[in-house]
Amino acid sequence: MKPVHIIGGGLAGCEAAFAVAHAGVPVVLHEMRPTRPTAAHRTGRLAELVCSNSFRSDDAETNAVGVLHRELRRLGSLVMRAADAHQVPAGGALAVDRDGFAEAVEAAILAEPLIEIAREEVTGLPPEEWGPTIVATGPLTSEPLAQSLLQLTGETSLAFFDAIAPVVYFDSIDFHVAWRQSRYDKVGPSGDAEAYVNCPMDREQYGAFIDALLAAEKTEFKEFEGTPYFDGCLPIEVMAERGRETLRHGPMKPVGLTNAHKPDTKAYAVVQLRQDNALGTLFNMVGFQTKLKYGEQARIFRMIPGLQNAEFARLGGLHRNTYLNSPRLLDARLRLKARPQIRFAGQITGCEGYVESAAIGLIVGRLTAAETLGRPLDPPPSTTAIGALINHICGGHIEAIDAGPRSFQPMNVNFGLFPPIAPAPEQKRLRGPERGLQRKRLLSARARVDLDGWAGVDFSAS
Ligand SMILES: Cc1cc2nc3c(=O)[nH]c(=O)nc-3n(C[C@H](O)[C@H](O)[C@H](O)COP(=O)(O)OP(=O)(O)OC[C@H]3O[C@@H](n4cnc5c(N)ncnc54)[C@H](O)[C@@H]3O)c2cc1C
């Protein structure tokens, strides 16, 4: 049987290789380190963690990444097995001894008779004769391969930096203060003149907000990240440094909007939020890409009227990150539409995080193996954490027509990506945080049942 080629022996590549081999299909895993290093990896080991040693919350009842842990364990994930075996104390989080973890993953890959490791850089698109190939080269994909991908996919389809604006859960916005309206009531292609959520500020509130931005702690760019301010994607705090009124003439301009609660009072500035996913559960803060520290973001953005109780599905950031415009380029099984023999996995698809990258690796491994064995498989349903993530990557995100080519941004798993669930009548009586927790428990319980159903499908060679 022809082997599946996997490029990149990081979290996604190792998980994919393990899944393919376990289905009885041979693998050639191409990893360029240590021959060719990246700017963030420090060793030649497979599955090296480049930064934090945390896999985040292990709470599978009320935390979406905890649900993802549970699903990965259920599916026999190599990354989770190694993480569980090399845990270090971290309260409710799953944190690992990074050396022990990487050694365990590498040892398992080396022990797998169906996996051959090729320690080499792949410097161009996989040749046609390779057949099924998974590209899992991560946020630091080497330059020659990235350039080849750029040529294949086009200028606007491969990004080298993410410019992430915070994303808010829709149901945490206070609509006694905020209101829905598109600027100048402009009707969009969907016939909607109320596409945006608007949060008004008076002169004092705006002044206090600018003061807070200027005083806030910022994260620095790492040396290898260079100076990635591009296409007018300036962080808001940099805009504020250029002049106190700059934001009011940029992303916070108040023109073309009438406050539905106080029609006679003109706002001094307005923060707009735009729908981020097809489900309508997540809204992003328009033009609010930022390098502020996470704690500062939550504190300062809750100063915005209407967002005083905001819950954030994702905070803002600006990083070196190679990733595809996946909703455009990939089909629902993560195949490149232009060359379906090539699949992508891990952070390069537009998920964010160690666990998410491993999860996409595992599923892409299974999908590839199933197809190679002539038993094509659908990804898990979008009611599961893995399915919700795939749905974000392959089409759940809304491509805003006025947001430029980079409107698709990487995302951690979060409950806002799951299709909503209706509470039972007795649960409707709950209020505040209890109600939110109950919703998460229901989403988690539904995910468990639906993932079990999917996991039961056998497609392996034996
Ligand atoms: C600096 C930095 C810090 C991060 N910190 C965190 C964090 O703290 N927590 C978190 O959850 N996520 C973090 N991330 C995001 C992300 O979760 C990790 O990058 C994660 O490792 C992605 O997994 P992956 O398998 O997609 O890529 P990687 O784990 O990076 O694996 C990709 C592999 O492909 C290899 N490769 C690249 N190009 C080629 C080529 N042409 N030929 C052969 N091999 C190639 C690389 O050497 C690497 O081993 C960080 C990302 C970066 C860049």
Through-space distance between the first and last CA atoms of the chain, rounded to whole angstroms: 14
Ligand 1: which atom is nearest the Cα of residue 412? 11
Average pLDDT over residues 234-244: 92
The percent of residues above 70 in pLDDT, for the chain, comes to 94
For ligand 1, atom 29, name the residue with the nearest CA: 10
Q: How far is CA 424 from the centre of its chain?
A: 31
Distance 359 CA to ligand 1 centre (A): 14
- Which of 69, 347, 356, 360 to mutate to test ligand 1, by most ligand atoms within 8 A of the CB atom? 347
Complete edge-to-edge strand list for the sheet that includes strand 179-180 = 179-180, 196-201, 269-275, 282-285, 167-169, 312-314
For ligand 1, atom 16, name the residue with the nearest CA: 353
Distance 329 CA to ligand 1 centre (A): 21
Q: pTM higher than 0.75, yes or no?
A: yes
State pLDDT tens for residues 247-263: 999 999 999 999 999 99
Q: Is the confidence at residue 278, as pLDDT, over 90?
A: no
- Note the residue count of the chain: 462
Distance 348 CA to ligand 1 centre (A): 9
Ligand 1: which atom is nearest the Cα of residue 345? 26
Task: Please list every protein residue whose CB sits less than 6 Å from any atom of ligand 1.
Answer: 7-13, 30-33, 38, 40-41, 50-52, 121-122, 136-142, 145, 320, 346-348, 353-354, 357
Distance CA 343, CA 367 (A): 9
pLDDT at 397: 64
Ligand 1: which atom is nearest the Cα of residue 39? 1
State pLDDT tens for residues 28-49: 999 999 999 998 899 999 999 9
- Which of 51, 318, 364 to mutate to test ligand 1, by most ligand atoms within 8 A of the CB atom? 51
Structure-model confidence comparison of residues 11 and 89, the more confident one: 11
Ligand 1: which atom is nearest the Cα of residue 40? 1
Distances (CA, A) of 44 to 9, 102, 114: 10, 10, 21
State pLDDT tens for residues 176-225: 999 999 998 887 766 777 889 999 999 999 999 999 999 999 887 665 56
